[in-house]
Amino acid sequence: MNTTRSYQNQTRLALPEKKLTEANMKLSGSHLTFYQQLLNVVPESQLITDPFKTLVYSTDASFYRLQPKFIVVVEDEAQIQSVLRIAYDLNVPVCFRAAGTSLSGQAITDSVLIKLSDNWQHLEVLDNGQSIKMQCGVLGSQANAALAKYSSILGPMPASIDAASVGGMAINNAAGMNSLDTYGQMTDAKFIFANGNELDTKLVKSNEQSRIDFLQQNKILVNGITELVSYVKSNPILVNTIKQKYRIKNTTGYNLRALVEFDDIVDVISHLMIGSEGTLGFISHITHKTVAVSPFKSVSLIVLNSLADAGIAVQRLKSIQTKQQALIGAAELIDYLALKAICNEPGMPKSLQTLTCDSVALLVQVEANGFDQLMQSVHLVSEQLANLDLASPIQFSQDKLQIQQYWQMRKAIFPAVGANRPAGTTALIEDVAFPIERLPEALVDLHSLLTRYEYSDAVIYGHALDGNLHFIFSQAFATQQQIDRYEAFMRDVVNLVVDKYQGSLKAEHGTGRNMAPFVEQEWGPLLYDVMKRIKSLFDDRGILNPDVMITKDQRLFIKNIKPLIAGNELIDKCIECGFCERQCPSKNITFTPRQRIVGQREIMAQEHNLMSVADKTVRLKNLQSTKKTYEYQGIDTCAGCGLCETSCPVGINTGDLIRQQRRLQHQSSPTRNITTNALATLMANQFGFITNVARLGIAMNSLLKKSTTLSRWLSLPTLPSVEKLSNITNTVKMANGQHSSISKKVVLFPSCISRVFGATKPEQLNKESEKQSQSQTEAFVSILNKAGYEVVIPKNVDQQCCGLPFKSKGFPNQATEKTAQLIKELTSASDQGRWPIVMDTSQCFEQLLEGFHKSEHSQSGENLALNKPEFDISDPLSFLHDNVLPKLKIVPKTKPVTFHLTCAARRGQKDALALAILKSCAENVTIPADITCCGFAGDKGFSVPELNASALKALKPQVSHCHSGYSTSRTCEIGLTTHSGILYQSIVYLMDEVSE
C-alpha cells in the first residue's frame, strides 16, 4: 500500500482533499508560497491542511499546544533536504516530529510541522550485537527487540523507550535509570542542517575527500564552532563550569561539553547536535554502542523512615558504584505518596500497608556476571545501609517474578498518580537533578516547596544514583489564579535547583518551552552567549524550532497551555502521552488512539462553544465538518482491538470510546435509534438466518466481478470456501462414534466466523498437506479426540454468538443478550459445568469470560454472574497448551512456520503459551516484529480493507521464507493470508498435522 495515501482523506463518506485554491484559503504570505513550492518536491497527499487534522496530528505529550499552519509528511532524506532548503530560502519556521512523546513542548509549532512517515524504521544490528544502526523513526522497543537475541540493549533507557523514536531520544539526549545517554553511546550519525547540507560522520571521518568537501561546503559553521572551542578552552572558569554541570545529568541548553571533550571538529559538531531538540538540524540515522545484559540480578525494596536517610543511602550506594565495588544497575527513589499509590500492586511487601508519612523507599537492583559476585554485592549493599533508620530489614530477591513485579510497580507510579488527578487537570512531570553530596537536604527542600504551594497529591521519585528526581503533581490552567500559582511555583523551583544547589533544571526530559526562559539563569551570561552563538551558526535564519532552547520570552513557559477538555469519563484520564500509538493498526493510515481522544475532545470543545455564542452558523458548519472527518478517521477505521490499553499509563481502552461513539451515532435521531436498534435486535434473534445469508454471500463471491461495489466487501483473493452447519455436527458425530470408549468430554464452541468460513480452497493449499482441506472444526475435533476427549457441540449452535459483533457495532444490549443466550447453552452442554468448555477463537473467549463475570443482569433478568470455579472455560491457546499438547505424540514440522498472536490473546498475555506450542510442533518458528493487531477486526477487513493492508504492511518480507502461518482467529487468518503470500490457518491445523 502506498504510504502517502495514509495522510489523505480516504473515506468514501467524506470529500477528498480540496485543491490548492479551496483548501488553503487561510494560508497567506510565505506559508502559501512555501506550500506552493513544496508541491514540486512532495505529493499533495503528503501536505495536511485540514485544521482538524493539523490539530490532531500535531498534539504531543507536553502540556503545551500550538497548531501548525500545515503539516508536511516526509518519506526520505531527499524530501527532508528539499523541504528544508525551501523553508530556508523563504525564512519559514519548521519543527520536526517523530513519535511526539516529549514532555517539554519541543515538538510543536504554529508554523509548519515536518512529520515522519513510517518509512524511517530500518535498523541493522552490527558487530554481533555490540552496536546497532537505526533510522530516526525506529522505536526504542524495536531496537531492543532486535538486540534481544544478542543479550544486548540500547544504553538510553527512558520510561518512554517503548514508544519513543531513537531520533527523538537522540535529539533530546534521553537517558534513564542507568545514566547512559545518546551523547555517550553514539558512534556515528547522519545529520541534515537548516540549509539542507548534510553531515555523515562515518563517511567524513573515513574518507579524506568527503572531509574536505564537508569543510568546504560548511565553512561558516566549521570556522565558527572552531572559534568557540578555542574561546571556551582558553577560559579555565568556563571549562570548570561545564565540567561541574555535567557531573550530574543535564539536558538544559546545548551540550556544551562537546566543546571541551573533543578535538576533531566533526566530533564537536555531531555531539552538539545531540540534545539540541531540533533547533540545530535533523537526525536521519544514528549508530549506538549497545550494553550487555547482566545474567544475574537481585532486587530489594528498601524502606526508610525519612527522606534525609534516603538521601544518605543514595550517597553510600553511589560511593559503592563509583569505587566499582558492586554493579548497581539502579536505585530508584519512591516517596510516601508514591508508595501509598502502589502498595496494593502484585508482589508488594505487606509492610507497605503500615507506612508513615515520612516513609520513603529505594528500589535497588544489583547485577553481576556470576552468582558468587552477585551475593558479594548484595552483602556489601546490605552492610552499608544497615545502620540507617530502616522500616524493615533489607531483603534481596533473585526470583524473576518478584523482580518483574517490583519493576512493574515502579512503572505503575505515574499511572497511579495520573489516573487519580481531578478531571480537567494536567499531570505535570518535572525533572531536576541535584549533586549527590547535597541530595538529602535537597530532597527535604523540594518536598517542602511542594507542600508550601499546596500540591497535596505531588509525588517524588526518580533515578537516585544520578540525583535525578521526577516530581508529579496535578495542575489546572483554567483560571489566571491557577496559572499564577504555577508560575510562582516554577520560579521558586528554578531558584531552589539552580541558585541554592547548583543543580540542573532538566536532567533528561529536555529544555523545551518549559525551561527555555531559565537557561541563562542556570548557565550564566557567558555560556548562554556561547549557546546563542551555536544556534546562529547552525541556523543563521532561525527557522528551526524557534523559542525552544533559546528564547527572549521570559513568560514562554506559561503560554499556549493545552486545554484538557473533561466530560467523558472514558478518556478524561488521558494525558496524551502517545504510549498507545505503537500498538494501533491504524497508526499509518488514519488516527491513533491518542489522536482519536484529541479529536473527540476537540468535538466536545466545539459543541460547548456552540452553546455560548449568538451567531452559530459558522461554528455549526465547522462542527459538522469536524464530525464528518472524524467519522472515517476516528470511528470507521478503529479496529476496537483494545491493544492501546496494554500500553496506556492510565489504562484507557480507546476502543470503548469508539464503541460509545458508534452507539451515539445510532441514537443521533429518534428515527435512526429505533430503526438501528430494531434491526440489531432482529439480527440477534434471527442469528441462524443471518449466518446462512453470510454463507450465501461467500458462495456468491466467485461470481462477483471485481468492478462491483460488493466486491469491496466480499471479493478477497484468499476467501475460504463455505462451511455448512451439517459439516460441523456430522464431524462430531463421526468422531464420537470412532471414540465411543472415551469417558472425558469437552464442550467445543465454534465461533460464528468458523461456522461461516469452511475449508481452505484447493488452490490455496500446500500440495504436501492435503489434509488441511478439512474445516477448522474438523481439525479441532481431530486433535481433541487424539488427546482423549469426546467432543460436545452445544445445541442450536448456529443460532449462538458470543455477542462481540453487536458490541463492536455499538449495540451493547443486544451483545449482552447474545452472551446470556450462549452462556445458557454452554451451561447445558457442559452439564452445569461438569465438562470443560473451550472456545475456538480467542476474541470469543474474552467476550464470553466478560459475560460470565458480570454482576449485572440481562434485559430478561437472568443473572450472568457465574462463579468461575464451577465453569472451566478456556481460550484455544490455554486449552491446547495445558490439556492437549501433553497428550499428543508429535513429530515436529521441519519447514519454517510463523504465528500471529491475536489482540485478545495478546491482552490475555498468551504469547508464552503460543510459543511453547509452536516450538513443540515446529523446528523453525518465526514471530514477525512490529505486527500487533492485524486490522481485520471482525468485518473491517471487508468494509475497510485499507486498514488491514496498512496494519500488515511489514508482514510479507518477514515471513516470505515460511511454509505456513497460524493463528487463532478465522478472519485474522484471511487478512494475514492476503498480505503475507503464505497460507494462514488455525494453530489446530499444525497440531493435527504433526501429531500421531
For residues 341 and 863, the model is more confident at 341
Query: What is the distance of C-alpha 575 from the center of its chain?
Result: 13
What pLDDT is stored for residue 858 in this prediction? 43
Q: What would the pLDDT profile of 799-827 be if each residue is shown by its tens digit?
A: 888 988 888 988 899 988 989 999 889 98
* CB-CB neighbours of 844 under 10 Å: 26
Given a contact cutoff of 8 angstroms between Cβ atoms, the answer to whether 328 and 178 are in contact is no
What pLDDT is stored for residue 851 in this prediction? 78
How much is the average pLDDT of 785-795? 92
Q: Give me the numbers of helices (H) and strands (E) for the chain, helices first please.
A: 43, 24
**88 pLDDT exceeds 60?**
yes
Of the listed ranges 28-32, 411-415, 878-882, the one predicted with least confidence:
411-415
Residues 6 or more apart whose CB falls under 8 angstroms from that of 908 comprise: 842, 846, 875
What pLDDT is stored for residue 340 in this prediction? 85
What pLDDT is stored for residue 714 in this prediction? 46
Given a contact cutoff of 8 angstroms between Cβ atoms, the answer to whether 506 and 252 are in contact is yes
What pLDDT is stored for residue 4 in this prediction? 35
**539 pLDDT exceeds 60?**
yes
Give 419's pLDDT tier (boundaries 50, 70, 90).
Answer: confident
The residue whose grid cell reads 508514591 is 338
Q: Is 219 exposed, middle or buried (0-12, 13-18, 19+ CB in 10 A)?
A: exposed
What pLDDT is stored for residue 611 in this prediction? 76
**Averaged pLDDT score across all residues of the chain:** 88
Residues 6 or more apart whose CB falls under 8 angstroms from that of 911 comprise: 901, 905
Q: Following DSSP, what letter does each residue of 831-886 receive, concatenated?
A: TTTTS-EEESSHHHHHHHHHHHH--SB-TT--B----GGG--EE-HHHHIIIIIGG
What pLDDT is stored for residue 346 in this prediction? 80
The residue whose grid cell reads 500545515 is 70
**191 pLDDT exceeds 50?**
yes
**855 pLDDT exceeds 90?**
no
What pLDDT is stored for residue 15 in this prediction? 33
- Distance, CA of 935 to CA of 949 (rounded, Å): 8
**742 pLDDT exceeds 60?**
no
Of the listed ranges 321-330, 471-480, 634-643, the one predicted with least confidence:
321-330
**6 pLDDT exceeds 50?**
no
**193 pLDDT exceeds 50?**
yes
For 241-298, the three-class secondary structure string (H helix, E strand, C coil) is HHHHHCCCCCCCCCCCCHHHHCCCHHHHHHHHHCCCCCCCEEEEEEEEEEEECCCEEE
810 — phi, psi (to 5°)? 90, 30
**613 pLDDT exceeds 80?**
no
What pLDDT is stored for residue 210 in this prediction? 97
For residues 5 and 486, the model is more confident at 486
Q: What would the pLDDT profile of 11-22 be if each residue is shown by its tens digit?
A: 323 333 444 444
3-state secondary structure of 99: coil
How much is the average pLDDT of 297-319? 93
Terminal alpha carbon distance of the chain: 42
The DSSP bridge pattern shows strands 123-126 and 131-135 to be: antiparallel
For residues 490 and 573, the model is more confident at 490
What pLDDT is stored for residue 791 in this prediction? 93
Of the listed ranges 161-165, 342-346, 792-796, 829-833, the one predicted with least confidence:
342-346
What pLDDT is stored for residue 304 in this prediction? 93
Q: Following DSSP, what letter does each residue of 201-242 receive, concatenated?
A: HHHHHH-HHHHHHHHHHTHHHHHHHHHHHHHHHT-HHHHHHH
- Distance, CA of 118 to CA of 136 (rounded, Å): 11
* CB-CB neighbours of 354 under 10 Å: 10
**715 pLDDT exceeds 60?**
no
For residues 712 and 60, the model is more confident at 60
Q: What would the pLDDT profile of 429-440 be if each residue is shown by its tens digit?
A: 899 999 999 998
Of the listed ranges 265-274, 334-343, 621-630, 914-923, the one predicted with least confidence:
334-343
Given a contact cutoff of 8 angstroms between Cβ atoms, the answer to whether 876 and 991 are in contact is no
How much is the average pLDDT of 984-989? 94
- Distance, CA of 930 to CA of 939 (rounded, Å): 23
Q: Among residues 458, 461, 263, which one has the least CA distance to residue 361?
A: 461
Give 733's pLDDT tier (boundaries 50, 70, 90).
Answer: low
**161 pLDDT exceeds 60?**
yes
Given a contact cutoff of 8 angstroms between Cβ atoms, the answer to whether 426 and 475 are in contact is yes
Of the listed ranges 369-383, 598-612, 843-857, the one predicted with least confidence:
843-857
The pTM of the full predicted model, rounded to 2 decimals, is 0.90
- Distance, CA of 704 to CA of 877 (rounded, Å): 36
What pLDDT is stored for residue 727 in this prediction? 60
- Distance, CA of 585 to CA of 644 (rounded, Å): 10
Cell of 191: 545529520
How much is the average pLDDT of 484-512? 96
Q: What would the pLDDT profile of 927-952 be if each residue is shown by its tens digit?
A: 999 899 999 998 898 889 999 999 99
Cell of 113: 510541522
Residues in the chain: 996
What pLDDT is stored for residue 72 in this prediction? 98
- Distance, CA of 599 to CA of 622 (rounded, Å): 13
The DSSP bridge pattern shows strands 897-899 and 925-926 to be: parallel
Residues 6 or more apart whose CB falls under 8 angstroms from that of 498 comprise: 505, 518, 521, 522
Given a contact cutoff of 8 angstroms between Cβ atoms, the answer to whether 969 and 864 are in contact is no
Q: Among residues 556, 535, 549, which one has the least CA distance to residue 505?
A: 549
- Distance, CA of 510 to CA of 895 (rounded, Å): 49
